[in-house]
Amino acid sequence: MTDRWRVGANLATLANALCGVGAIAYVLAGNKLWAMFLITAAIGFDGLDGLLSRRSASSGSSFGRTADSVADGITFGLAPAFLIAVHTSNAGLWTPWETLAVALAGAYFAAAIGRLVYFTWRGFQRPYFLGVPTPEAALALTVALLFHDTPAFQTVQPLAVLIGVAIISVMMVVPVPYPKIRRGSILRTPMAITAVAAAIALVLLQFHPATGSPLFLVALGASYSLLLGVAAYYLLGPFTVDRHPPSPTPEA
């Protein structure tokens, strides 16, 4: 008998990967906002994949973990690397930083793949993450781009973005514990609000609202909510981790 939960999890993994491919295409087409929206949407599919896997009657397989990590590598590793390296708008401001941007994009991708390989090999056995997980890293990059690249709420600042990229890359691989956002997690509600705020900001900005207009102000407010949510995860997350839970449940 077909396990419908496992089938649903596989479809969520596929949707995650397709969002990543679409995000790369939009970066190359010059629409970073839509690319960031697809990456944010993929975070929802990634979470749905884990939820459905845990409801499945069959235990998590190495194939399922590998497929999930490949999808995450595309969406939260390769697509963000394109966001860092490719600049079709504000090209003049980015030209002096082009080589460094490509180098840091490669470093970001390498860090993302490194932690995903570790997760697939043995990290899934832990009830928490070591280092910032790739979806939250992608959200942090989205914050940096919104404020200092596109639409540049605080002016275009390539150096500020690249410093942020370097910090995010390091945070993905440092052995600091970060929580998995599941039922009972103190950060579950704040992170759900953060995801909604990201979606609102990125959808409204597609309409290119004039500075000071109601749509612009709502998008700006949502972006600040996104900033606060990401900061809360990065700064408070390690303090919410129980390193010795009574009965750890491996992630599928």
d(CA 74, CA 15): 12
What pLDDT is recorded for position 8? Answer: 86
Sole residue written with tokens 């839970």: 245
What pLDDT is recorded for position 87? Answer: 93
d(CA 168, CA 52): 29
Q: Kindly state the average pLDDT of the residues 71-90.
A: 96
**Which DSSP category does 187 fall into?**
T
- State yes or no: pLDDT of 178 exceeds 90: yes
Per-residue pLDDT band for 5 (boundaries 50, 70, 90) equals confident
Contact status, residue 81 vs residue 109, Cβ threshold 8 Å: yes
What pLDDT is recorded for position 246? Answer: 53
pTM greater than 0.85: yes
Q: Kindly state the average pLDDT of the residues 127-142.
A: 94
Q: What is the DSSP string of 63-126?
A: HHHHHHHHHHHIIIIIHHHHHHH--SSSHHHHGGGHHHHHHHHHHHHHHHHHHHHHHHHTGGGS
- State yes or no: pLDDT of 19 exceeds 80: yes
- State yes or no: pLDDT of 182 exceeds 50: yes
What pLDDT is recorded for position 155? Answer: 94
Q: Kindly state the average pLDDT of the residues 198-227.
A: 95
**Mean model confidence pLDDT for the chain:** 89
Task: Give the lowest-confidence range in 33-42, 73-82, 134-143, 186-195.
Answer: 186-195
What pLDDT is recorded for position 47? Answer: 86
pLDDT digits over 92-120, tens only?
999 999 999 999 999 999 999 999 998 77
Positive or negative torsion for Cα 143, 145, 151, 155: positive
